[in-house]
Structure 1
Amino acid sequence: MLIREATPEDWPAIWPFFHEIIAAGETFTYPVDLDAERGREWWLLPAPNRTVVAVDEAGTVLGTAKMNNNHLGNASHIASASYLVDPAHAGRGVGRALCEYTLAWARESGFRAMQFNAVVETNVRAVRLYRSLGFEVLGTLPEGFRHPTEGYVGLHILHRAL
């Protein structure tokens, strides 16, 4: 697996699984009816932030991550990131590789920590992955997310020093 900078030409490969995951409404706080153009604007970040894709030997996009400063001004030393793995390629280490990549990027870019603002508590695979990589749940916003089948569930805030 290779992780490389995403380009606008990658968007047609990202959009189908991006749309599937967002429209399901189970893990992201994005509007479930987000269209391709707005999704591209929100996902493909300009420098100094970054968006990457994980690809296999054939160049197939397996997943993607965007990484950025979490806040501005005097809080701009904290990074954040978001991840999407094509469900057709889940369980093959793509999410772990992308998360490790973003942690390395944040460290090399001079950030002091990484914070995730809204990890849905029912996204247990993601929470387990983040904890295995040293993230701690700092708190949970009770009923902060309206899950389509579980009802109102919590949103975790996670943190990891770099």
Structure 2
Amino acid sequence: MLIREAVADDWRRIWPIWHRIVAAAETYAWDPDTSQEAARALWMGPAKRVYVAEDPGGAVVGSAYLTPNYGGPAAAVAGAGFMVDPDQGGRGIGRALAEHVLAAARAAGYRAMVFNAVVETNPAVKLWTSLGFRIIGTVPEAFEHPRHGRVGLHIMYKSLH
């Protein structure tokens, strides 16, 4: 698997994954009806370094972004987002993207990474904790999950130094 920085033309290959995941309304606190244009602005905005994971045949199987989570005096705290093609789960793509983005964050001088809204039923919580993230708070019943009803949103943190 190759992980590389995305180029503008990669959006057409990221969008089907993005749309499928967000439309399912199980793991992201974004509107399931987000248009492709709005989604592109959310995922590939100018403050974000975007990455894609490609399988050996060149198909995009996942994507991630790295961005400052805060600004000004708190700009040394990174934020990130990750999506893996649901048909490709269990192949280590999410872990590979996470390790790549964590290394890029350290290299860019970030001192920590925070996830602001991790749906508590998201299977990725197990991945994040295995990589050293801690749950530092949970907003109770903040997310309307289509199968589980009201569930919490975790705030997760990892020091990078």
Partner of 2:115: 116
- Give secondary structure in 2 for the equivalent of 1:81: strand
Partner of 1:135: 133
- Give secondary structure in 1 for the equivalent of 2:116: strand
1:46 Cα deviation (Å)?
2.3
Counterpart selection for 1:156 from 144, 154, 160:
154
Partner of 1:31: 31
Q: How does 1:11-160 map to 2 (within 5 A)?
A: 11-46=11-46, 49-123=48-122, 125-160=123-158
Measured against aligned partners, the alpha-carbon deviations of 1:59-83 in whole angstroms (never above 9, x if no partner) come to: 1001000110000011111001000
| Separation in structure 2 between the aligned mates of residue 111 and residue 161 of structure 1, nearest angstrom | 9
Stretch moving more, 63-72 or 3-12: 3-12
| TM-score, structure 1 normalization | 0.96
Q: How many residues align?
A: 160
Checking the alignment, whether the CA contact within 8 Å between 1:53 and 1:64 is kept in structure 2 is: yes
Unmatched 5+ stretches in structure 2: none
- Give secondary structure in 2 for the equivalent of 1:40: helix
| Separation in structure 1 between the aligned mates of residue 12 and residue 106 of structure 2, nearest angstrom | 30
Measured against aligned partners, the alpha-carbon deviations of 1:21-64 in whole angstroms (never above 9, x if no partner) come to: 101101001111001111111111325x3000000121100100
Question: Taking every aligned residue pair, what percent have the same amino acid on both sides?
Answer: 52
Give the 4+ runs in structure 1 shifted more than 2 A.
none
1:94 Cα deviation (Å)?
0.5
Unmatched 5+ stretches in structure 1: none
- Give secondary structure in 2 for the equivalent of 1:139: strand
| TM-score, structure 2 normalization | 0.96
Checking the alignment, whether the CA contact within 8 Å between 1:45 and 1:66 is kept in structure 2 is: no
Checking the alignment, whether the CA contact within 8 Å between 1:63 and 1:86 is kept in structure 2 is: yes
- Give secondary structure in 1 for the equivalent of 2:33: coil
